[in-house]
């Protein structure tokens, strides 16, 4: 075989290997992206369901114990917890007054960096 034939054959094999690996990488990337999108959609759906429970049960004006019994489990499968005057359940903050009565419902928002 001539030297140019060997070089061309090697380049063809390298090129095919490159395109195969590129195709494989793209498929893995799409699968991971789809998985993240699906998980995000499921979390958003659960948050909406939880917001609808709060809205339908009309927890404003109810004591803390009633709210805790209504919201047994939050979006992430955790028990709602009380912190800094709020009952946190998933992405919701049920604001409490001094008598531990729910006075409003807001979205849980992260504190800005200082």
- The per-residue pLDDT for 22 is 96
% of the chain beyond a pLDDT of 90 = 40
Phi, psi of 102 (to 5 degrees): -70, 125
- pLDDT bracket for residue 33 (50, 70, 90): very high
Query: Does the pLDDT at position 52 exceed 90?
Result: no
Mean per-residue pLDDT of the chain: 87
Tell me the mean pLDDT in the region 35-59. Answer: 85
- The per-residue pLDDT for 10 is 95
Query: Does the pLDDT at position 74 exceed 90?
Result: no
- Tell me the whole-structure pTM to 2 decimals: 0.59
């Amino acid at each position: 075989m001539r030297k140019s034939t060997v070089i061309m054959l090697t380049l063809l094999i390298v090129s095919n290997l490159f395109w195969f690996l590129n195709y494989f990488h793209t498929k893995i990337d799409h699968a991971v992206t789809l998985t993240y999108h699906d998980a995000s959609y499921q979390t958003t759906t659960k948050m909406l369901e939880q917001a609808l429970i709060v809205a339908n049960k009309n927890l404003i004006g109810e004591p803390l114990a009633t709210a805790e019994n209504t919201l047994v489990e939050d979006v992430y499968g955790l028990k709602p917890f009380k912190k800094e005057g709020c009952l946190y359940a998933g992405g919701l903050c049920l604001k409490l007054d001094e008598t531990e009565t729910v006075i409003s419902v807001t979205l849980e928002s992260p504190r800005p960096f200082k």
